[in-house]
Chain A
Amino acid sequence: MDARLEGPVAAGIAAQVDEAAGGRHQTLWWRLASIALFCGAWEVAGRVPINLAFPTFSSTVVAFFEMVGDGTMLKAYALTLQPLIIGLIVSASLGVSIGVAMGLRKSVEWMAAPIFIVLQAAPVAAVIPMVTFVYGIGLTAKVISVCLLALPVIVLNSYKAVANVNPSLINMCRSFLGSRWQQIIKIILPDASPVIFAGLRLGISAGFIGIILAELLITPTGIGDLITYHRAIANYAHMYATIASVIVFSAVTLSVLQWVEERWFRPEKKRS
């Protein structure tokens, strides 16, 4: 329930990028070796085969490019990304605002913290099918699904970030006659930004889960539809290709967010 301890995950990703900043060549070789190992193991497993429904790595890659080529992949992503992006924007803006408010005001903390702690720890996924039944199979239900999963972790991380700002820096600002507003803008938000961004990264992961679940459970459209369809006609290579693309897409998005954070908000990290 402690949002702080999700840190190692974010830190792990951060470590990947930090590692890349120094010792670039060495890390690159390890990365390539790692990828090669994974793909190699996959290929072997597919050839054995460990299961009739387990395609090889190569056939999966072929299927992937086939789907990109005939446009089905792109169309599917377009359908899936719409509610995902909307949901994430809503979750991010609402989530950071609520979280920061919780960190700054005890009354907001008291009212909001238990709700989000419960939502964070509990399997909110159980509610998604019901959401789709009630709100129909349109955009609304999917956006709600994304928000349901992404909002709690963003709120809790932002809240923790603000609550754990270095008190010495706030005192310093007060001693130089900073107003409360100046304290918030110039000290609290910059100091809290790494953890807030970690929360956003986690929120994005959660949002992905939300949209995939919504699509798999009730309303097959977009990516979920692609997965279900290919499974139904036993095109396992295509199914795996779609799933793999989702995972890769999610990983890439998170890395980009990391880059954005370092470029605009914490320039000192670049130099280390």
Chain B
Amino acid sequence: MTLFGYRLPMMSSLIVWCVIWEIVGRLELVLLFPPFSGVLAALVDLVQTQKFWDATWTTISTFCIGMTLAIVCGVSLGVLMGRVKAAENLLGMWVNVFASAPLSALVPVLMILFGMGAKTIVVSVFLFAIWIIALDTQAGVKHITPSLIDMAKSFGAGRRDIYAKIILWAALPEILAGIRLGFIRGVKGVVIGQLLVSIIGYGELFEIYSRSFLMEDFWALTIVLFAFALLVAELVGMLEKRIEYYAGVRQ
């Protein structure tokens, strides 16, 4: 949009929102929102505490392990469902159901099965992320024009070559899109997992802040989390852009 003839960049309205937040906080209009400046101060303090970095390490390590598993299994599942009709018919329904089901309801189950520690979080991340990765991969694989595969066969490509050189690359835009969404869901998984387990990582910190009504610290931590989620999504987005050039001309 343009204002007085100058084009305003997309996210610039966030500055306006921060100002509104500051005003709302100063005037104490909503108990939930302390002044933004206070939050920023708390943020500065927060990143200097050891507890924060321990919690961050827990979060990042469980997130990475869970995501790696989700990507490997999700892409494999998606390719299977995309290439083998029987797999699609048998498994497709469940993948779809779980992709839009309230998976948070499953976390209590995970807590019983895997205990109240990091393992549960890893499984949480895995379960939250895998379904959308599988679905998008499946969509990508199904959309590959048969003529590409015929072309590879006509030049003598064996099965391994077809998968590694054609299928994975041709479906890569959708796979990356799925992974990006998987990352976002994975972050939700790591947070919800920690919140429900509540004795490790960020969950523990949130628990402390909530109970003591430490609003500024709470929002500071929330901002850190939000920023982390957005950063991760952006990174995958950048990766997607690099292969965007051929995404449009695949038919």
Dominant secondary structure of chain B at its interface with chain A: helix
Q: Is the CB of A133 within 8 A of B184?
A: no
Q: Is the CB of B104 within 8 A of A5?
A: no
Q: Chain A CB within 10 Å — which of B91, B184, B207 has the most?
A: B184
Contacts A123-B192, A131-B32, A133-B210; A5 near B17 (Cβ below 8 A): no
Interface residues on B, range: 35 or more
Query: Chain A: which residue is nearest B131 at the CB level?
Result: A9
Nearest Cβ on chain A to B63's Cβ, whole angstroms? 11
Nearest Cβ on chain A to B127's Cβ, whole angstroms? 12
Nearest Cβ on chain B to A204's Cβ, whole angstroms? 8
CB-CB contacts of A110-153 with B at 8 A, as 1s and 0s?
A: 11111100101111011111110110000000000000000000
CB-CB contacts of A233-272 with B at 8 A, as 1s and 0s?
A: 0001001100100110011001000000000000000000
Q: Is the CB of B32 within 8 A of A125?
A: no
Q: Is the CB of B13 within 8 A of A114?
A: yes
Nearest Cβ on chain A to B29's Cβ, whole angstroms? 13
Q: Chain A CB within 10 Å — which of B104, B111, B135, B139 has the most?
A: B104
Interface residues on A, range: 35 or more
Nearest Cβ on chain B to A197's Cβ, whole angstroms? 13
Q: Give Cα distance in the complex from A69 to B190, angstroms.
A: 37
A16-B92, A125-B195 provided; 5 other pairs, C-beta below 8 A?
Answer: A12-B135, A114-B17, A120-B184, A123-B190, A129-B210
A-B contact pairs, 28 of them (CB 8 A): A1-B233, A2-B180, A5-B181, A9-B96, A12-B96, A12-B135, A34-B89, A35-B93, A114-B10, A114-B12, A115-B13, A118-B226, A121-B226, A122-B225, A123-B229, A126-B225, A129-B206, A129-B210, A130-B206, A201-B100, A212-B105, A216-B105, A231-B111, A231-B112, A240-B109, A247-B98, A251-B97, A251-B101
- Which positions in B face A, CB cutoff 8 Å? 1, 8, 10-14, 16-17, 31-32, 89-109, 111-113, 132, 135-136, 138-139, 174, 177-178, 180-181, 184, 187-188, 190-192, 195-196, 202, 206-207, 209-211, 213, 215, 218, 221-222, 225-226, 229-230, 233, 237
